[in-house]
Structure 1
């Protein structure tokens, strides 16, 4: 016979975490999926030289932005705002608007040693930006619990760089044809165009820039 403890033990559900996701969480995952797909497409382009993969890498990131735009609105409309959703959003944003643009820059030809340092700096700024936002959101929130402004530029603003380099790629300005060319500094090469990522990353971690939140 079964003991009382065995009879009252709660039944474990399969895939319980996924089953607990809300609609907004699936949109957030869509954001992360698009960012990951963009990185894989960039790697495929680097390996094969097939421009269709480069176009796919660029094309997935605006879809990621749409998912990022919708997930918060859906969560608020359905009163499903949660800490899980907030953490998912930050991780997805890091993939789609931090690592994926850096991978694209590498794929477009920014592969010198100084380029790598600049791109790592950009991603590190994105990580720091998201961590600071999560840690200070409660302090910055006004009445109703809504954050009134961002400290530093939000990480999705990196898509402005993606749009710029997408236009350059469409005109064949990639690889050796990147604007401003390449310079050798000491033992490593630098493509001056990569400094745009340094500027973008620095703007993310600025405490003096305050961007009103819609």
Structure 2
């Protein structure tokens, strides 16, 4: 008597998209806002129209709304997955890492030291999210929720975007950036970019613990 083994069903077209949960769609909305902010920052560099820059900065708070609701929807529907966690981190680095850095560059922080600090800021964000993904299970102590953050969460960079929006609203972009520009050795430094250095350093801190509400 022969035993017929059942062949696995072939993967359907767009099977990955079909497998996304509702919370994952909110996460992708977060990433979409991040990419929109980068595109709008580039549009502003070409157009010089303040409105384009203000819309770019508005994408960060909108991305934060999506970021908040993806977690709420996941808890409401009781759907948590490793893929969802990875999606969340990848979306965050676009919206709250690369996006703010692109806006700062578009705002006029284009000196050599500015570029180094903005790259440092993004690298800190990437490192912080990678560390969170690795340690999330340990920090949750067996529960579904992480009790505290090690270092500031990357969405706190929304504050930096609001600072840039205030500069744009007050027509303080480019050569009029608050703090002006300094010649430090071979390169230019805009003191305002130091806010990004501080933000990045706080993100990778292991001693700073912030309770998660």
TM range (shorter): over 0.9
Q: Which residue is 1:68 aligned to?
A: 67
Q: How far is the alpha carbon of 1:145 from its aligned partner?
A: 3.1
TM-score (norm 2): 0.95
Deviation sequence 1:4-47 (CA, Å, 0-9, x none): 88x94513311000000000000000000000000000001101
Q: Which residue is 1:149 aligned to?
A: 148
5 Å-filtered alignment, 1:170-209, equals 170-209=169-208
Q: Cα RMSD between the aligned structures? A: 1.4
5 Å-filtered alignment, 1:85-104, equals 85-104=84-103
Q: Which residue is 1:58 aligned to?
A: 57
**C-alpha distance in 2 between matches for 1:194 and 1:107:** 12
Q: Which residue is 1:80 aligned to?
A: 79
Q: How far is the alpha carbon of 1:212 from its aligned partner?
A: 0.3
Q: Which residue is 2:121 aligned to?
A: 122
**C-alpha distance in 2 between matches for 1:85 and 1:145:** 14
**C-alpha distance in 2 between matches for 1:83 and 1:11:** 23
**C-alpha distance in 1 between matches for 2:167 and 2:46:** 21
* Contact 2:108–2:174 (8 Å) recurs in 1: yes
**C-alpha distance in 2 between matches for 1:8 and 1:112:** 60
TM-score (norm 1): 0.95
**C-alpha distance in 2 between matches for 1:172 and 1:94:** 28
Distance 1:137 1:8, change over 3 A: closer
Deviation sequence 1:58-85 (CA, Å, 0-9, x none): 1111110000000011011101110000
Runs of 4 or more off by more than 3 Å in structure 1?
Answer: none
**C-alpha distance in 1 between matches for 2:64 and 2:137:** 24
Q: Which residue is 2:112 aligned to?
A: 113
**C-alpha distance in 2 between matches for 1:94 and 1:209:** 20
**C-alpha distance in 1 between matches for 2:65 and 2:160:** 17
Aligned length: 210
Q: How far is the alpha carbon of 1:49 from its aligned partner?
A: 1.4
> Which ranges of structure 1 fall in alignment gaps of 5 or more residues?
none
Helix, strand or coil at the partner of 2:143: helix
Q: How far is the alpha carbon of 1:144 from its aligned partner?
A: 2.3
* Contact 2:57–2:164 (8 Å) recurs in 1: no
Q: How far is the alpha carbon of 1:56 from its aligned partner?
A: 1.6
Give the stretch that moved more between structures: 43-52 or 109-118.
43-52
* Contact 2:183–2:189 (8 Å) recurs in 1: yes
> Which ranges of structure 2 fall in alignment gaps of 5 or more residues?
none
* Contact 2:50–2:168 (8 Å) recurs in 1: no
Helix, strand or coil at the partner of 2:62: helix
Q: Which residue is 2:29 aligned to?
A: 30
**C-alpha distance in 2 between matches for 1:208 and 1:10:** 50
Helix, strand or coil at the partner of 1:145: coil
